[in-house]
Amino acid sequence: MNDVCCAVHAYDALKARFARIATIEEVAAILHWDTSVTMPAGSAPARGEQMATLAGLAHQLLTAPELAGHLEDAEERAGMLSAADRRNLALMRRKWLRATALPGDLVEATARAASACETAWRTARRESDFAAVAPLLAEVVRLMREQATALSAATGLAPYDALLDGFQPGLTDARLAEIFGPLEAALVRLLPRVLERQAAASEPVPLAGPFPVEAQRGLCRMLAERVGIDFATARLDESTHPFCGGTPTDTRITTRYREDDAAQAILGVLHECGHALYERNLPRDWARQPLGEAAGMAVHESQSLIVEMQACRSDAFLSWLAPRMWAAFGGDPAPYAPANLARLWRRVRLGFIRVEADEVTYPLHVILRWRLERALIAGELAVAELPGAWNEGMRALLGLEVPDDVRGCLQDIHWYDGAFGYFPSYTLGAMAAAQLYAAALAAVPEIPSRLAEGDLAPLVGWLREHVHAHGARHGFDDLLRAATGRPLDPAVFVAHLEARYLG
């Protein structure tokens, strides 16, 4: 077999193998959605075994001995491949390296432990009982430390860096310290000024409930459709923790409804729709290939936040949304005036809950979680000490006394599901969203006027061209450089906050 045929054969074999792995991961994604939305509680043990089996099967396919030879053959003759295929091949090597660093029994054990812990977390959260889930979380942390150590040995990264790298390639703890240190300092200076400015103004008029759940469902579905979600290949359901799951061709969005607070569901759905649009607009020609995946979770979070925070909390979009909210819920129309709605939804508060936090305080919630999770992985913080450390951190960062664990360390699903290293992506995403939105406005000046008509198509079109369609072709900073002319610049985010809240 000549060199060209050998390279093509090896690369084609790799593409077939990675497509099979991706299909298994799609099945796992649907089962994960089902676990959170429709699965009977008593079925959790069996579901844990199912998830562990799928994780183990995907791991076996990725670590099979013949893949090493295929990778070497294809890489030796990579010059015969297109630039896109070479990038795809490099991403295959990355996935293989991370997978072969982890023994199969560790992968299955972690999946099994995370499934059990997540199931127990739902009850513990409802009852604000950290002690009930602490032993299961301790096991998840133990297994994640093992994974971090193994990945560190294979990649040369520090253990926590190896976990960060799994969510946003190239991200390190040192880089986060460079970003979060100055950001925290800027927010500490900004927050009192914003609160003082708010205190000097009249209070916004609160929206008076109750807000019937059925009316919320109808409004949320309509908003998802306006953003660009086609429900021929999508669902909108309820779960304890809102998320966007499924696959690029089978979108599963969830939210949660409260009859005393419609904003939580409305803004939550808009946020998850940003995630969904990214997945649905990834390059179809590279479906089920590494190149056809998202560029990392910080990029993913930028897409949810550009929809929710940048576009849908803008004055233009709220001028369209406000009368439709009043039509859905009725009552006194005064609170639904666009200016009042803007003041309500852009109001800065010192609060306990990350997913309910405003743009100014939200990064401080993330910084707390970053500090705690790296301490857990380093073995510097025991799981039993987590509630106390959490409460101390909230006191230091926001001056709040946490009254119970449901408003403390039980509020987020991430650690109980084994997602250590994810939280920093939220704030990196917020920064990137501000930078991308500024670039989109400069390139497409009609975006605000179209948002005033409830039309996100010009913005989504720009994102599809400059972000979505590239898949994993670029790293985080390279993608931003191509789209905006520069890598991540936190000063753009701070300037956005100053303009919105002090301008």
| Residues carrying an active site annotation | 272
Backbone angles phi, psi at 235, to 5 degrees: -135, 155
Q: What is the enclosing helix (H) or strand (E) of 246?
A: strand 244-247
Backbone angles phi, psi at 250, to 5 degrees: -150, 80
Backbone angles phi, psi at 405, to 5 degrees: -75, -25
**Structure tokens, 261:** 């607070």
Contact 248, 471 (CB under 8 A): no
CA angle centred on 191, ends 187 and 197, rounded to 5°: 145
The span from the CA of 31 to the CA of 27, in Å, is 6
**Structure tokens, 446:** 């009609």
The span from the CA of 67 to the CA of 85, in Å, is 17
Q: Which residues 6+ apart lie within 8 Å of 226 measured at CB?
A: 454, 455, 456
Say which amino acid occupies 386: L
As a whole number of Å, the end-to-end CA separation of the chain is: 68
The span from the CA of 149 to the CA of 142, in Å, is 11
Q: Which residue has the tokens 């905006």?
A: 484
Contact 50, 32 (CB under 8 A): no
Contact 372, 385 (CB under 8 A): no
Backbone angles phi, psi at 202, to 5 degrees: -70, 155
The span from the CA of 430 to the CA of 493, in Å, is 7
